[in-house]
C-alpha cells in the first residue's frame, strides 16, 4: 500500500497566493540511461500551473511595496501566456484589473485561461512577433497610465528565483551531488536567478542553457539593440519562428543579459522543436509526467547530456509548465479524439454499451 503521509505541511492557507513555489523535484525512472540519475523540477505544481506564477507574484508585490502600483490600478503586460495566466491569478486575488497583449500565434487555451481569470486579452498580429505584442503593451501603458509589468526587464524577475527556486534546489540536493542543471529561457529569470545561487552555493554544478536551434539568438553572438529603459529596440535578426512556446522571444531579454555577461552558464546547447515535442510525449507515456513543449525541450537536453555522462552523474531539468496548456498545438496533434482500432477492438470484446 502506498504511503499516505501528506506531501505538504498540514494547515490552512490564507489565499491561493500562499501556495506559489515549493515545487517538487521528481526522479525520472524509466527514461534515464542506466547509471545516470535524472530529476525534473515540476513547476506545474504551482497553483496556476507554471513557473511564471513565481514571477507574477514577485512583480505585483514588489510594485506594491515600492508604490509603483497603486490600489485599483490596471496592470498590463505582453506575454506568450504563462506570465499572463500567473498575473491573472494574482490580480484576481488582489483586485487589480489586468490587460494582456499576446500574439495570435499562441495557443487558444492560454487566452481562454486568462479571460477565465478575469483578464482582458488583446491579440496582436503574429507577423509582428513578440516585439509587436511588447510594443502594444507599452503603448497601452503610456496612453492610459497603467502599470507595465515589464517581465523582460524588471529586477523582480531574477530576484524571485534567487530567493525561492535556487534555494529550493539547494535544499533538495543537500548532501547529494548535482552535476548539471538544465534550463531554457523565456525572460531569462530562471537561469539568472538560479545561477546566482548555484554559483555561490553549489559551484561544481554545471549550468546548461538551451534555446531553439532555428532561433539561436544567444548563440549568434549578435548583441541586442536596446532603448534607454533596457527594453528591446528592434526584433533580433537571428530570430525565426519556432514551436517552443514560452521560450526565446524575438529579442534577448534584459533579464537574461546578466547571465550572458557574467557567464552564468557553462554550455549553450540548441534543441530542435521536434525533439522537444518527442520528449514531452515520452515523459507523459513512460513517466506519467505531463509537461509542455518547453519542458520536453529542456528534458531533451538533459537526455543528451546523459548520453555521454559518467556513471553516477546527477542531472536536474526544469519543467516550466503543464502539457494541458498545449491542447491545440502540435504537441497533441497525434492524439486522436475518437477511438482508434485497438480501442474499438477492446470495446467490441463485450456485447453491451457499444458506440453507434
Catalytic residues: 52, 294
Q: Which helix (H) or strand (E) holds 302?
A: helix 293-307
C-alpha distance from residue 313 to each of 32, 106, 310, 354 (Å): 11, 37, 6, 51
Question: How many alpha carbons fall within 13 Å on the CB side of residue 335?
Answer: 14
C-alpha distance from residue 156 to each of 61, 62, 96, 212, 289 (Å): 9, 7, 18, 26, 30
- 8 A C-beta contact, residue 42 and residue 319: yes
Distance CA 205, CA 313 (A): 11
Q: What is the three-class DSSP state of 290?
A: coil
C-alpha distance from residue 72 to each of 67, 89, 94, 217, 278 (Å): 12, 15, 9, 38, 44
Q: Is the dihedral of CA 121, 126, 130, 136 positive or negative?
A: negative
42 Cβ contact partners less than 8 Å away, ≥ 6 residues apart: 23, 24, 25, 26, 289, 291, 319
C-alpha distance from residue 63 to each of 37, 89, 163, 176, 227 (Å): 40, 16, 17, 37, 22
Distance CA 323, CA 290 (A): 5
Q: Which three cell numbers stand for residue 350?
A: 463485450
Amino acid at each position: 500500500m502506498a504511503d499516505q503521509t501528506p506531501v505538504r505541511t498540514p494547515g490552512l492557507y490564507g489565499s491561493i497566493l500562499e501556495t506559489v513555489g515549493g515545487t517538487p523535484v521528481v526522479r525520472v525512472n524509466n527514461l534515464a540511461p542506466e547509471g545516470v540519475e535524472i530529476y525534473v523540477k515540476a513547476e506545474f505544481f504551482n497553483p496556476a500551473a507554471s513557473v511564471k506564477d513565481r514571477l507574477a507574484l514577485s512583480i505585483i508585490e514588489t510594485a506594491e511595496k515600492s508604490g509603483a502600483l497603486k490600489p485599483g490600478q490596471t496592470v498590463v503586460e505582453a506575454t506568450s501566456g504563462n506570465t499572463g495566466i500567473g498575473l491573472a491569478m494574482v490580480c484576481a486575488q488582489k483586485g487589480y484589473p489586468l490587460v494582456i497583449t499576446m500574439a495570435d500565434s499562441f495557443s487558444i487555451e492560454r487566452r481562454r485561461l486568462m479571460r477565465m481569470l478575469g483578464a482582458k486579452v488583446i491579440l496582436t498580429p503574429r507577423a509582428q512577433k513578440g516585439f509587436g505584442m511588447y510594443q502594444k503593451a507599452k503603448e497601452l501603458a503610456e496612453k492610459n497610465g497603467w502599470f507595465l509589468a515589464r517581465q523582460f526587464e524588471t529586477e523582480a524577475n531574477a530576484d524571485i528565483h534567487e530567493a525561492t527556486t535556487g534555494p529550493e534546489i539547494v535544499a533538495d540536493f543537500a548532501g547529494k551531488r548535482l552535476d548539471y542543471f538544465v534550463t531554457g529561457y523565456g525572460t531569462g529569470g530562471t537561469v539568472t536567478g538560479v545561477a546566482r545561487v548555484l554559483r555561490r552555493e553549489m559551484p561544481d554544478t554545471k549550468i546548461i542553457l538551451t534555446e531553439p536551434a532555428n532561433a539561436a539568438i544567444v548563440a549568434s553572438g549578435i548583441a541586442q539593440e536596446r532603448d534607454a529603459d533596457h527594453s528591446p529596440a528592434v526584433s533580433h535578426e537571428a530570430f525565426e519562428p519556432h514551436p517552443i512556446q514560452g521560450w526565446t522571444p524575438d529579442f534577448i531579454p534584459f533579464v537574461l543579459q546578466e547571465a550572458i555577461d557574467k557567464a552564468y552558464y557553462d554550455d549553450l546547447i540548441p534543441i530542435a522543436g521536434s525533439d522537444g515535442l518527442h520528449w514531452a510525449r515520452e515523459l507523459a507515456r513512460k513517466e506519467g509526467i505531463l509537461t509542455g513543449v518547453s519542458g520536453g525541450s529542456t528534458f531533451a537536453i538533459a537526455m543528451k547530456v546523459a548520453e555521454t555522462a559518467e556513471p553516477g552523474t546527477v542531472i536536474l531539468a526544469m519543467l516550466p509548465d503543464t502539457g494541458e496548456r498545449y491542447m491545440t498545438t502540435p504537441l497533441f496533434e497525434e492524439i486522436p479524439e475518437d477511438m482508434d482500432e485497438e480501442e474499438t477492438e477492446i470495446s467490441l470484446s463485450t456485447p453491451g454499451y457499444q458506440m453507434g
